[in-house]
């Protein structure tokens, strides 16, 4: 089955490649053909320069372009869709794409407006939310639903109108309030680095969430605001709430402030669950710091959460903001907020994949009563040992009758580790040949 992704060289469209390429023949298009061909080569899929051509060959065609271009692309490719195929859009507004698909697609082509409520940084589909806003449910709808369900996704079935209203709360209001806060901080000429000395865990979380939103493509953020039909009402209501609260405090009307706060609290629903979830987030931040402190003096791997680069070395010290890592003669200071310490198994695998290994054969004379599997298991418990394999057994004239010579091929991360293996062999009563 052919799956075409218009806009597959960037953002969510590119992310979808990872989920489709193992099961389908994937074709992508992009506005930058050089970049698109590079992505296609990197991810082992096909690149086509023409939206019309990709529509002509696709059994499922995914429209993953900026919101403001979605309807135009739908109109462009609609006449060229295969009979019996499916068109899917993945934009964060649904009313406009649905209306366009209703108007221009032939009856022989099924359409499914969707909204995957996760970003391009998502690496797993398990427990991720996807909204299906179909006005008609044909054969393709059943297939799509089953496919998503088998990926353990949380599927929400609703109308395009309700989706857009709910997203006006989830996205429009949230983004607007966060960007407003960031803008206020900028207008106040506040250096956020100075606030870190006074920060609380809740403040940390809030600033991180605000930074995550404002760091997104501002054109995308603007279009989420401007193209949702409910946006104007949402922003006006937010402004009214801010002005009301401002006036109440400026007027020193404590009683009215308390009433507003209580009403708002009651409307938040289950506060207990909210406290539990926020406690988990705060504890997660503290846990990372505890792990780092407990690792001082040890060799560690620290992964930069944005670049993906892994720094290795001896962790010399940790303060509230910085981890100091020594790599040979070099000392690096890494911001704790931007790194993640690798778990021991993860760090070990990284070493195997990225460091030059050492393989050496070791021959040792043991008593014939020695248990080979016991020796191998003991060797594998030594740090930095990758593999051990018995390659030869010798009991010739040079070996006493009660003894046997065993040759093992040992693979390690460093040459020094070979000596540790030899020491273990002699600890088992062996004699190195």
Q: What DSSP string describes 320-385?
A: SSEEEEEETTEEEEEEGGGEEEPPHHHHHHHHHHHSPPEEEEEEEEEETT--HHHHHHHHHTSTTE
| Residue indicated by tokens 């590079």 | 38
Nearest to 143 by CA among 88, 198, 76, 211: 88
* Residue ranges, CATH 1.10.3660, the chain: 163-267
pLDDT computed for residue 391 by the predictor: 94
Nearest to 111 by CA among 50, 161, 62: 62
Task: Domain 356-432: give its CATH code.
Answer: 3.30.70.380
Q: CA 45, CA 20: separation in Å to the nearest integer?
A: 10
The alpha helices in 4-44, defined as continuous H runs, are 11-20, 33-43
Which contiguous run of DSSP H or E holds residue 202? helix 201-214
**What b/e sequence results for 147-157 when a residue is b if at least 16 CB atoms lie within 10 Å of its CB, and e otherwise?**
ebeeeebeeee
Q: Where in the chain is the domain with CATH 3.30.70.380?
A: 356-432
Q: Which fold has domain 2-158?
A: Rossmann fold (3.40.50)
* Cα–Cα distance measured from residue 165 to residue 116, given in angstroms and rounded to the nearest whole number: 16
Beta-sheet pairing, 310-318 with 358-367: unpaired
Which of the following CATH numbers is that of domain 289-349: 2.30.30.100, 3.50.50.60, 3.30.390.50, 3.40.50.1360? 2.30.30.100
Fold of 163-267: 6-phosphogluconate dehydrogenase C-terminal fold (1.10.3660)
Q: Could you tell me the two tokens for 130? A: 């996807």
Which residues are CB-neighbours of 297 under 8 A, at least 6 positions away?
Answer: 314, 315, 316
- The answer to whether the CB of 96 falls within 8 A of the CB of 227 is yes
Alpha carbons 425 and 406: distance in angstroms, whole number? 10
Encode pLDDT of 188-247 as tens digits. 998 887 887 777 778 878 888 888 888 888 998 999 999 999 999 999 999 999 999 999
Reading the chain (433 residues) residue by residue, the pLDDT tens digits are 999 999 999 889 999 999 999 899 999 999 999 999 999 999 999 999 999 999 999 999 999 999 999 999 999 999 999 999 999 999 999 999 999 999 999 999 999 999 999 876 676 788 899 999 999 999 999 999 999 999 999 999 999 999 999 999 999 999 999 999 999 999 999 888 788 777 777 887 888 888 888 888 899 899 999 999 999 999 999 999 999 999 999 999 999 999 999 999 888 888 888 788 878 777 776 777 788 888 999 989 999 877 788 999 899 999 867 899 998 888 999 888 788 889 888 888 888 888 888 999 999 999 998 999 999 999 998 888 889 999 999 988 888 888 999 999 999 988 888 999 999 999 999 999 8
Helix axes 218-227, 231-250, angle to 10 degrees: 100
Where do the CATH 2.30.30.100 domains begin and end in the chain? 289-349
């Amino acid at each position: 089955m052919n799956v075409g992704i218009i806009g597959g060289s960037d953002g969510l469209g590119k992310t979808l490649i990872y989920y489709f390429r193992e099961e389908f023949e994937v074709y992508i298009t992009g506005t930058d053909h050089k970049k698109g061909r590079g992505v296609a080569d990197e991810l082992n899929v096909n690149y086509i320069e023409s939206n019309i051509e990709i529509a002509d060959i696709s059994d499922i065609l995914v429209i993953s372009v900026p919101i403001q271009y979605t309807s135009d692309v739908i109109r462009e490719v609609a006449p060229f869709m295969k009979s019996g195929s499916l068109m899917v859009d993945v934009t964060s507004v649904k009313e406009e794409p649905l209306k366009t698909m209703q108007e221009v697609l032939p009856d022989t082509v099924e359409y499914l407006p969707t909204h995957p409520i996760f970003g391009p940084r998502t690496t797993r589909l398990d427990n991720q939310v996807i909204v299906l806003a179909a006005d008609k449910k044909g054969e393709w709808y059943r297939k799509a639903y089953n496919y998503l369900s088998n990926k353990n996704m949380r599927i929400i079935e609703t109308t395009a109108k309700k989706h857009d209203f709910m997203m006006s709360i989830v996205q429009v209001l949230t983004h607007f309030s966060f960007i407003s806060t960031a803008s206020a901080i900028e207008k106040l000429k506040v250096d956020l680095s100075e606030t870190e000395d006074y920060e609380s865990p809740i403040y940390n979380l809030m600033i991180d969430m605000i930074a995550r939103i404002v760091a997104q493509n501002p054109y995308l953020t603007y279009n989420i605001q401007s193209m949702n039909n409910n946006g104007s009402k949402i922003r006006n209501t937010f402004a009214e709430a801010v002005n009301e609260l401002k006036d109440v405090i400026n007027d020193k009307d404590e009683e009215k402030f308390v009433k507003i706060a209580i009403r708002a609290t009651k409307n938040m629903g289950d506060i207990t669950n909210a406290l539990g979830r926020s406690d988990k987030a705060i504890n997660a931040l503290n846990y990372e710091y505890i792990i780092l402190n407990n690792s001082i003096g040890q060799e560690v791997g620290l992964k930069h959460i944005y670049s993906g680069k892994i720094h290795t070395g001896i962790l010399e010290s940790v303060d509230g903001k910085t981890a100091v890592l020594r790599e040979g003669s070099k000392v690096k200071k890494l911001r704790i907020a931007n790194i993640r310490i690798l778990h021991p198994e993860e760090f070990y695998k990284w070493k195997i994949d990225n460091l030059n290994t050492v393989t050496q054969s070791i021959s040792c004379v043991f008593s014939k009563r020695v248990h080979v599997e016991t020796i191998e298991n003991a060797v594998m418990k030594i740090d930095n040992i990758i593999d051990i394999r018995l390659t030869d057994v010798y009991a010739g004239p040079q070996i006493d009758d009660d003894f046997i010579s065993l040759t093992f091929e040992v693979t390690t991360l460093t040459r020094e580790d070979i000596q540790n293996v030899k020491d273990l062999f002699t600890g088992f009563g062996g004699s190195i040949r």
